Structure 1
Amino acid sequence: MLAVHGLHVRLQTERGPVPAVRGLDLSVDRGESVCLVGESGCGKTLTALAVLRLLPSPPLEIAGGSIRFDGRELTTLPPEEMRRLRGRRIAMVFQEPMTALNPVFTVGRQIAEVLEVHLGTPPSEARRAALELLEQVGVPEPASRIDAYPHQLSGGLRQRAMIAMALACAPDLLIADEPTTALDVTVQAQILDLLARLQRERGLGLLLVTHNLGVVAQVAHRVLIMYAGRIVEEAPVEALFAHPRHPYTRGLLASVPYGVAEGTRRLPAIPGTVPPLEAVPAGCPFHDRCPEVMDVCRRVEPAARRPGPGVTVRCHLF
Structure 2
Amino acid sequence: MSLDDRKLDVLRAIVEDYVATQEPVGSKALVERHQLGVSPATVRNDMAVLEEEGYIRQPHTSAGRVPTDRGYRLFVDRLSRVKPLSPAERRAIERFLAGALDLDDVVHRTVRLLAQLTRQVAVVQYPSLSRSSVRHLELVPISTTRLMLVMIADTGRVEQRLVELPAPIHVDTVTDLRRMVNEKLVGKRLSDTPPLVQAMVDEVSPDDRNTMATLATVLLEALVERHDERIALAGRANLTRGGLLDFQGSLRPILEALEEEVILLKLLGEVDADTLRIRIGDENEIDNLRSTSVVSTGYGPGSTIVGGLGVLGPTRMDYPGTIATVRAVARYVGDLLGNN
TM-score range, shorter chain: under 0.3
User: TM-score if structure 1 supplies the norm length?
Assistant: 0.25
Q: Which has the higher helix share?
A: 2
- Structure 1 or 2, whichever has the larger Rg, is 2
